[in-house]
A and B are shown apart, each in its own frame.
Chain A
Amino acid sequence: MSELLFYAMAVIALLGGLGVIFSKSPMGSVLSLLGSFFALAVIYLLAGFHFMAAVQILVYAGAIMVLFLFVIMLLNLGGMGTRFELSAAPLTRARSQIAAAVAAGVGLAGLIAVQRASLPRIAQGGAPERIDDINQIAIALFGRYSLPFQAVSVLLLTTMVAVLVLAKRRTRESGQ
């Protein structure tokens, strides 16, 4: 049963990815991407990553998507009407066949690499029900990975300052 749900969600995630590329309006792309993220969150749940599924919903669907929607609405790019339309126009442009070939090559290389690698079998009795134990994640984050953790906090501060500088409307008084 859960296997069936996994494959259904995998198809939805891939269809969402296609929708991002071939949707006519940026709004349609955002909604397709949202569908893809939700499908991935369900896959995380099924695979035993309950905390990561929650983080996926909160950060991706909750924060990043809202940021995208906010910018699309701010710049008024939503387009007229609310119909979700697909268009193959991106693929008919000059040189986009090369891009499609590159993407297909990347995907194929990944598939072949996975196929050829002798992945260790999952231990008898299947994978554990719950893999991302929050206690263990916290111990890893504040122990072994405390340096990257602090680097990421510096990155976030830098990002905050950079976004303020980039997005601030320059007035005549400020001299630039």
Chain B
Amino acid sequence: MNVPSEHLFFLSAGLFSLGVLGFLVRRNVIVTLMCVELMLNAANLAFLAASRMHSTPEALDVQGPVFSIFVITVAAAEAAVGLALVIALYRLKQSVESDSASEMKG
């Protein structure tokens, strides 16, 4: 594939800003979590693009994939805890809208 690295970074920036947008505008906590996953994916893409940029056939740069593996692991942990929190919220409020938990709003 002969695509310049910039285009991979552009895609990463686009995905990340979509994640930010969804995180800010959606009220449904599950969809909010999905938008966080989208942002983490964008970060992964940026790591891999940087790794591709610095790799030559003689010296491969595997730091990008290594960090991506760490990010994926943390994303899985985050999804598990987040969804457990969603279940706890649903038990408490019978709703998954983030507006339903606003007692601490002040």
Residues of chain A having any CB pair with chain B under 8 Å:
2-3, 6-7, 10, 13-14, 17-18, 20-21, 26, 29-30, 33, 36-37, 40, 43-44, 46-49, 51-52, 55-56, 59-60, 63-64, 67-68, 71-72, 74-75, 77, 90-91, 93, 96, 99-100, 102-104, 106-108, 110-111, 114-115, 119-120, 122-123, 125-128, 131-133, 136-137, 140-141, 145, 148, 152, 155-156, 159-160, 162-163, 166-167, 169
Contacts and interface: CB of A to CB of B under 8 A. Distances in A.
Contacts of B30: 26, 29, 68, 71-72, 77
A68 B91 CA distance: 17
A176 B34 CA distance: 31
Contact of B72 (A20, A30, A59, A141): A59
Contact of A93 (B25, B31, B84): B25
Given A26-B28, A68-B30, A100-B21, A166 B3 contact: no
Interface of B: 1-22, 24-28, 30-31, 33-35, 37-38, 41, 44-45, 48-49, 51-57, 60-66, 68-70, 72-77, 79-81, 83-88, 90-91, 96
Nearest to B6: A114
Contacts of B2: 2-3, 126
Given A64-B79, A128-B60, A162-B81, A47 B52 contact: yes
Given A2-B1, A119-B53, A64 B66 contact: no
A96 B26 CA distance: 9
Given A33-B34, A102-B24, A17 B19 contact: yes
Query: Chain A contact residues: over half helix, strand or loop, or mixed?
Result: helix
Query: Chain B contact residues: over half helix, strand or loop, or mixed?
Result: helix
B13 A114 contact: yes
A7 B3 CA distance: 9
A167 B15 contact: no
A10 to B, nearest CB: 5
Given A52-B65, A75-B90, 4 more contacts: A10-B11, A52-B68, A103-B17, A166-B88
A107 B17 contact: yes
B44 to A, nearest CB: 8
B55 A127 contact: yes
Contacts of A67: 79-80, 83
